[in-house]
Amino acid sequence: MLAVIGVECAKLRSQRTARIALAACVTGPFAFAIAMRLQNALPEDTLFGRSVKESGFATPLVVLGFATLWVFPALSSVVGGDLFAAEDRYRTWATLLTRSRSRAEVFCGKVVTALGFSSLGVLALAASSLAAGMLVIGRQPLVDLSGALLLPGQALARVVLAWASVLPPAFAFTALAILLSIATRSSAAGIGLPVVAGLLMQLSAYVDGPEAIRRLLITSAFGAWHGLLTTQPYCRPLVCGTAVSGVYVAVCLAIAYRLLSRRDIGG
């Protein structure tokens, strides 16, 4: 499995799409922070949008709110949706599986690589957002959702926890992308369909329906960080969202491995 991970990481370093995605994660928040510093209009309809000029710790939270709409599904799928389909596109499965590597080892190595890239993308976007806020705006205290003032140290801890909370749903979209990549044998479907699914889930959250149904959507976990930015933090949405994301990961990967193990590679 480690050998597969090493090979996949080497391939990723040479892929333009992966480099562009990471570069956008690093530079995008700085462009946003500079734009907010220079212009008078503020994203007042967004959580912490009114505070982007008052505290640098509001910047990563505003970026986090925007990223949950389509950035995370796309970032989580850009590698996971292509790793398996690329072998079909280049017809390299037979060669890959005859070099002392079983399907289980190849599958696990590619899954770990995809999850690792998703983690790296989220980390790069979080670190860049936080750095952009502190360098461009400053380290002023942050007013939380309850109206209480958070000192810089407290605000930093809450921001880090908020970004960490989106990793489970990001992994869920990665697992979904892997499943679609194996099922369709198409990189376009593996990358594009999870993004479409994420947008549909976001839209369905605005439809008046049972709360239990909305909680079963992956995207519901992206908003669980709101409970961490109150005077008395509440973690129930975070726990539920993490559990739902874990189920998606387990189910999608189990089905994906089942499909791969039953596939006729020579066909």
User: Pick the residue with more confidence: 41 or 8?
Assistant: 8
Task: Indicate the range of 40-49, 68-77, 133-142, 244-253 predicted with least confidence.
Answer: 40-49
Q: How confident is the model at residue 267 (pLDDT cuts 50, 70, 90)?
A: very low
Task: Indicate the range of 63-67, 152-156, 207-211 predicted with least confidence.
Answer: 207-211
Instruction: Report the mean per-residue pLDDT for the chain.
Output: 89
Task: Indicate the range of 16-20, 97-101, 234-238 predicted with least confidence.
Answer: 97-101
pLDDT of residue 162: 95
Q: Has residue 56 got a pLDDT over 70? A: yes
Where exactly are the structural domains of the chain? 2-261
**Mean pLDDT (whole number) for 175-189:** 94
Task: Give the separation between CA 239 and CA 165, rounded to whole angstroms.
Answer: 10
Give 73-135 as a DSSP string: HHHHHHHHTTTTHHHHHTT-HHHHTTSS--HHHHHHHHHHHHHHHHHHHHHHHHHHHHHHIII
**Mean pLDDT (whole number) for 86-101:** 75
**Mean pLDDT (whole number) for 90-119:** 84
pLDDT of residue 41: 76
Structure tokens at 167: 């990793």
Task: Give the separation between CA 172 and CA 174, rounded to whole angstroms.
Answer: 5
Kindly report, residue by residue over 114-164, the tens digit of the pLDDT.
Answer: 999 999 999 999 999 999 999 999 999 999 988 899 999 999 999 999 999
Distances in whole angstroms, Cα of residue 258 to Cα of each of 84, 193, 255: 14, 20, 5
Q: Has residue 211 got a pLDDT over 80? A: no
**Mean pLDDT (whole number) for 230-248:** 92
Q: How confident is the model at residue 14 (pLDDT cuts 50, 70, 90)?
A: confident
